[in-house]
Structure 1
Amino acid sequence: MIAFLGMGLLGENFTRALLKKGASVRVWNRTYSKALALEAVGAKALADVADAVRGADTVHLTLKDDSTVDEVLAAAAPGLLPGATIIDHTTTSVPGAIERTRAWKERGFTYVHAPVFMGPQNALESTGAMLVSGDQQVIARVEPALAQMTGKVLNFGPETGRAAAMKLLGNNFLVCFTAGIADTLGLAKALHVPVSDLSMLFDTWNPAAMLPNRLKRMTSGDYSQPSWMLSMARKDTGLFLEAARQGGVDLTVIPAVASLMDRWIAAGHGGDDWTVIAKDSVS
């Protein structure tokens, strides 16, 4: 029997998918009505979290943050089956994941941090990616069940907390990516370019395809053979900023990038490839 704690969009759809696969699932949510709604599709809702985990050999969590995970697990502890496995899909800090792994092992339980790159629809369809790391014997034991919940289980090796770090790195990229799109939309507004034209550009020109090679170039340590000189990239960045100013639009990311470029140009790197701005991050 499985217990699932946290019936947000992700937890709810994980539960629905498990039920479709024939699993017996008990559910809990701080707002009980969200858990109770899943009884219509075969789950058993419990108002008390200790009751929800009682008898479950595996307990899944999709909660908010470190403190919420610690609070909910402390409340659930009296009902935990001796030796139960706790699978935590919450995005948390690296130290939090490490400490929980250690602390729950000392208490006789298995704690696995398994954050995901999955939206609600992925959870329902068992697609997307789930990240794990740590004791490889434990990972080998839980991976078959986790693989049924997602399209791909990515094992980042024996270091406890590495999965948490990789999740934060991925989310960091998504935040930067989205903020960059927001600046691009702002510049389009300033230049009176409709979103339809921007969509047509990206339907044909896919900068995401550049990512693997860009990462290699930025981490190579050699910026002496420029494909785009930093001084020229800074010139274009100035054009972005001036167009935005004239159009009455405030950009968020680009001013910080311009400042970073200026520091590297002042240090004598204007003739290098513009990816030199990442040098301090990788050296």
Structure 2
Amino acid sequence: MIAFLGMGLLGENFTRALLKKGNQVQVWNRTFSKAAALEPLGAKAFAGVADAVRGADVVHLTLKDDEAVDEVLAAAFPGLAAGTVLIDHTTTSVPGAIERTRVWKEHGFTYLHAPVFMGPQNALDSTGTMMVSGDQDVIARQEPALSGMTGKVLNFGPETGRAAAIKLLGNSFLVTFTAGIADMLSLAKALQVPLSDVSTLFDTWNPGALLPARLKRLTSGVYTQPSWTLNMARKDTGLFMEAARQGGIPLAVIPSIAIEMDKWIGKGHGGDDWTVIAKDAVS
């Protein structure tokens, strides 16, 4: 028996996928109607968390944050059978994941943090990426079932909390990436470039393909053989900001990057490759 706590976009579709595969699933959500909506598909909905986990061998959680996970698990505790496996897909802090692993082990339960890089459609289709780390015996026992929920399970080794850290790294990239796109679109607006032309550019040019090589260059520690000097990158960054200023369009990310560039130019790195701005992060 599986219990699933949290019927948000991911939790609901994870549950739908599990039901399609013939699993018995008991569900709970703060707003009961969201859990009850899955009963026509075969789920059994409960208004109380302890009731939802009663009889379950494995409990999955997709909640908001550390506080929500701790609160819901505390409420579930009276209904948990000894040895129940708790698998938490919530994006949480690293200390939170470490502490819950320790505390629930002391209570006689297995807690495994398994965050994901998946959208709702991935959860429904059982595709995407799930991360785990920690006790390798626990992971070995749970990995077959977890692999069935996602396209790939990445095991980051025996350090508890490492999966939580990897999830935060990935999300930080997504936040920065999206904010950078927003700045680019703001610049397009300031320069009166239509969105159709922006789309034409990226239909042909895929900068995402540069990511592995750019990461390698950033982390190489070698910045003295520039393909684009920091001085030239800073010059272009100034052009971005001036065009935006003249167009009356604010930029969110670029000005902060300009400050970082100026810092490294002030240290004498203007003639180095512009990726030198990552030097402190990787040294």
Band of TM-score, shorter chain: over 0.9
**Partner secondary structure for residue 216 of structure 2:** helix
Task: Compute the displacement of 1:81 (Å).
Answer: 1.2
State the match for 1:118 in structure 2. 118
Gaps of 5+ in 2: none
| Residue identity matched to 2:27 | V
Q: Distance in 2 between matches of 1:196 and 1:18?
A: 41
Query: Where does 1:16-31 land on structure 2 (aligned, <5 Å)?
Result: 16-31=16-31
State the match for 2:82 in structure 1. 82
Q: Distance in 2 between matches of 1:167 and 1:73?
A: 21
Q: Distance in 2 between matches of 1:81 and 1:211?
A: 46
State the match for 2:13 in structure 1. 13
Query: Where does 1:35-184 land on structure 2 (aligned, <5 Å)?
Result: 35-184=35-184
Task: Compute the displacement of 1:143 (Å).
Answer: 0.3
Q: Distance in 2 between matches of 1:99 and 1:17?
A: 30
TM-score of the superposed pair, with normalisation by structure 1: 0.99
1:64-122 C-alpha deviation (Å, 9 max, x unpaired): 00010000000000000110000000000000000000111111100000000001100
State the match for 1:222 in structure 2. 222
Q: Distance in 1 between matches of 2:34 and 2:66?
A: 22
| Residue identity matched to 1:51 | D
**Partner secondary structure for residue 203 of structure 1:** helix
Q: Distance in 2 between matches of 1:113 and 1:203?
A: 38
Q: Distance in 2 between matches of 1:9 and 1:50?
A: 22
Q: Distance in 1 between matches of 2:28 and 2:107?
A: 23
1:107-148 C-alpha deviation (Å, 9 max, x unpaired): 110000000000110000000100000000000000000000
**Partner secondary structure for residue 112 of structure 2:** strand
| Residue identity matched to 1:109 | F
| Residue identity matched to 1:184 | M
Q: Distance in 1 between matches of 2:266 and 2:118?
A: 42
| Residue identity matched to 2:258 | A
Runs of 4+ displaced beyond 6 Å = none
Gaps of 5+ in 1: none
Task: Compute the displacement of 1:17 (Å).
Answer: 0.2
**Partner secondary structure for residue 242 of structure 2:** helix
1:191-242 C-alpha deviation (Å, 9 max, x unpaired): 1111111111111110011111111111111100000000000000010011
Q: How many equivalent residue pairs? A: 283
Q: Distance in 2 between matches of 1:203 and 1:281?
A: 32
Q: Distance in 1 between matches of 2:264 and 2:117?
A: 34
| Residue identity matched to 1:209 | A
Give the fraction of aligned pairs with identical amino acids, expressed as a percent. Answer: 80
Task: Compute the displacement of 1:270 (Å).
Answer: 0.4
